[in-house]
Structure 1
Amino acid sequence: MARILIVEDEEHLSRFIDKGLRKAGYETVVAVDGMAALEHATGGEVDLVVLDVGLPRMDGFTVLKLIRGMDVDVPVIMCTARDSAEDKVAGLEGGADDYLAKPYTFAELLARIKLRLRDHGPATTEATRLERDDLVLDIVTREVTVGGEPVTLSAREFTLLRAFVEHPGQVLSREQLIERVWDGAETSSNVVDVYIGYLRGKIGAARILTVRGLGYRFP
């Protein structure tokens, strides 16, 4: 699961982005000033940085310059109200991978994040793509296609489907699914059944078989 560093000193905006990314299935780290951003971005703990320009202690352009000066190749998307051509050029020439002018929609930010993670992903596809017949899961971008057509899944549905695709032909009990998908949290087995129903409705009922008294199996 990719971890995103959100560098934004406006609390309401950072919380909005943080909530949206977590709902989309990403892990997040939030920094509210340039010094904290630099520490997180260069510590090898994040996969992408969403970087505001107007920050306390150190502005975003300086943070970006120091990140690239330390040969850290983490993708950086700059987000700022400063939308002049000069600022955009400065950001891109300084090593930013993308540049978003405020105000922007979360959907646009999410699309840019998926694209940049894909661009910086491993050269081989085996570690990032899971395929079963005509069903494909991209672990990095968390995109799913069935027969070449995109399917929109919630974060929980994606994790549930991934558990099945990673164990084709194996019967997974409700208890095993709770452990894998809900991290062992106290969850009713009926909740598993409900999410199985959601998933069947999106990828096809025949793709997840019920094994009476035991659980479910991905053929």
Structure 2
Amino acid sequence: MKAHLGIRLLLVDDEPHILQFLELGLINEGFDIRTAPDGLSALEIAAEFKPHVAILDIMMPGMDGFEVCRVLRDEEPDIAVIMLTAKDEVDDRVKGLSLGADDYMVKPFSFEELLARIQARLRNRFPGLLGEVRCGPFRIDGRRKEIRFRDSVLELSPTEYELLQYMVINHGLVLSKPMILDKVWGYDFGGEENIVEVYIRSLREKLGDKEHRIIRTLRGAGYRVDLL
């Protein structure tokens, strides 16, 4: 719990039972929580509370999550935004990401997955808040921009560091090439998707992962890190 002390989360949803469920779980993890039942209240709270992460439901009366995301991104450029929706629509994901959302989750979801995604967003935007993160044989030190594997420091380029950090923090999840390009290279990257394969190959060599047991390739889907 101590790892999350001082980290501020804003939860925005018009369904009271969802707010209560998330609030209780995240308070138990040590986060400082504020909740809002609608978009206007969320913006008022955010202006004073200055959250590190906002978790926004899309479908709300009045000001929807998309508009809240747009305003938050304009007023609080450092905030990380995770959007929630009851439907898995590609157009919604594209719209949310284009407005500055960092992540997107479809209801129903597990609390453990939400927690992992919050930690991933914090690691990307506020690397000093979590200190050192341990994931199986990996230790990620965001302050030193350093990753240890089985107690040995990996010699990584800045892009290799960002890629491996992203994949390890999201271990167990299948990450497609477009997802990786968006998170590591940026949504406006104009190069070829094959650049991901080049960096994956380099990381496997540095990890001694000849049999691809750590960074797995899932044909037609993407890549997944498995912690051994």
Gaps in structure 2 of 5+ consecutive residues: 1-5, 134-138, 144-149, 152-228
- Cα deviation, residue 83, structure 1: 1.6
For residues 139 and 15 of structure 1, the distance between their equivalents in structure 2, rounded to whole angstroms, comes to 31
Alignment match, 1:65: 70
For residues 130 and 80 of structure 2, the distance between their equivalents in structure 1, rounded to whole angstroms, comes to 19
2:131 is the alignment partner of 1:128: yes
Compared CA separation, residues 79 and 60, structure 1 to 2 (3 A): same
Identity of matched residues, % = 41
Alignment match, 1:76: 81
Compared CA separation, residues 47 and 111, structure 1 to 2 (3 A): same
For residues 126 and 83 of structure 1, the distance between their equivalents in structure 2, rounded to whole angstroms, comes to 31
TM-score, normalising length: structure 2:
0.53
1:17-64 CA distance string (max 9 Å, x none): 001001111110000000011122343521110100112321000111
Q: How many pairs does the alignment contain?
A: 138
- Cα deviation, residue 118, structure 1: 1.0
Of 116, 119, 123, which residue of structure 1 is paired with 2:121?
116
Alignment match, 1:40: 45
- Cα deviation, residue 69, structure 1: 2.5
Q: Which moved more, 1:7-16 or 1:41-50?
A: 41-50
For residues 31 and 110 of structure 2, the distance between their equivalents in structure 1, rounded to whole angstroms, comes to 18
For residues 21 and 141 of structure 2, the distance between their equivalents in structure 1, rounded to whole angstroms, comes to 25
SS at match of 1:43: helix
Contact 1:78 1:99 in 2 (8 A): yes
- Cα deviation, residue 89, structure 1: 0.6
Contact 1:41 1:74 in 2 (8 A): no
Contact 2:53 2:80 in 1 (8 A): yes
- Cα deviation, residue 73, structure 1: 1.9
Alignment match, 1:174: none
TM-score, normalising length: structure 1:
0.56
Alignment match, 2:218: none
For residues 127 and 13 of structure 1, the distance between their equivalents in structure 2, rounded to whole angstroms, comes to 26
1:129-183 CA distance string (max 9 Å, x none): 59xxxxx89899xxxxxx86xxxxxxxxxxxxxxxxxxxxxxxxxxxxxxxxxxx
- Cα deviation, residue 79, structure 1: 0.7
